[in-house]
Amino acid sequence: MAQHGVSCVVYPRKRQRETASRPHSNPSRLHNHNKTNASLRTAPHRTMKISALLLLPTAAFSLATRPLKVTVFGGTGYVGSAVCERLIQRGHEVTAVSRRGVNPKPDSKELSQVNWVRGDATDLRVVEESIKDADAAVHAIGLLFDVDSGLADLNKIVSGSGSVPGSSSTYDAITRTTAFNVIDSVEKKQSRNLNVQLDKLIKGDSGTAKFPLCFVSAAEAGWPEVPFGETVDGLAPRWLNRYLVAKRAVESRLKESSEKGWIREVIYRPSLIWDWTKFDVLPVIPVFNFASAIGVPFVDKTVRVETLADAIVAGLEGDDIQGVQRVGEMERICERVR
């Protein structure tokens, strides 16, 4: 009988005593009989051990893939650094590429294990070099106010990492160009390695032909897909329109590459990203969350940076995760790596 996942075998005592009391004229039969009884006596213990293994927490087997070599573009940023920390905790090898190229938290045990590379992702050659040995990548480069918005100085306040845009830091350059460079580099890498990937698939290797690439977009990029979203989109200020044009261009390019079989794209659409140190957004968080709770279709619930970072790691590891991830999906898949 079985109870609570542990199997047991019950033996009738009387039958065993009668069998043991009968004389055996054939010694070989007696030997085989004793071996059989010994085997039966140990069988429940083996069964219980196997059942106990099945009862182990699934978290013990949560790393579904081999350790990955992951390149994180924008690794010194607010989201990027959180992703790097969690990737290291999960046993992956991490290279972080950014304009600064230095560890933003020198006292962090995890970030001290990251390979920090100084480089400009608007330069295709830098991106190709950073991608060539990678198994997966994350694009977490972004800024809220570009140099043409007239609000660039506010980045010192609203940026989680305190970064300040350079003179050429437009939405098109920082978001679209850098992301397109990553996609182009991955496609080039994949085309060169196609025979290797096919060989892996034929042999049943755990590798997959599609390169995992996670992109941090924005909830507002999905406005045209929700009721009244297009109206709100049309009323948005010009700087926000340009911001969203760049995000949507990258999303479209990722889907195109995915359809060609090169990339497994995972697109994250967070609303406000926060933690308890982000004093600039803390006052408006209840407003966003209330609007989302009462069903305003073009307002998404805010997302903690830890949730987003964990969801990104889950997206890299999980071959079944693909496409657009809104806050609900992020909250669900992040549990895989916790």
Which of 97-111, 112-126, 141-155, 215-229 comes out lowest in average pLDDT?
141-155
Residue 273 has phi, psi (to 5 degrees) of -105, 135
CB 89 within 8 A of CB 62: no
CB 278 within 8 A of CB 286: no
Sequence-ordered list of residues with C-beta below 8 angstroms from that of 43, at least 6 positions apart, any chain: 9
Task: List helix spans (H) across 154-299.
Answer: 155-158, 171, 178-192, 194-202, 229-235, 238-259, 285-293
pLDDT confidence of residue 150: 84
| Structure-block tokens of residue 108 | 């962090």
**DSSP string covering 53-97, please?**
HHTS-GGGG---SPPPEEEEETTTSHHHHHHHHHHHHTT-EEEEE
pLDDT confidence of residue 151: 77
Render pLDDT for 161-187 as a digit per residue (tens, 0 to 9): 566 667 788 999 999 999 999 999 999
Percent of the chain with pLDDT over 70: 73
Query: Of 101, 121, 105, 172, which is closest to residue 143 (Cα–Cα)?
Result: 172
Residue 73 has phi, psi (to 5 degrees) of -85, 125
Q: Mean pLDDT of all residues in the chain? A: 82
323: β partners: 266
Percent of the chain with pLDDT over 90: 64
| Structure-block tokens of residue 301 | 């619930």
β-pairing, 303-304 vs 93-98, is: unpaired
Prediction pTM value: 0.78
pLDDT confidence of residue 114: 98
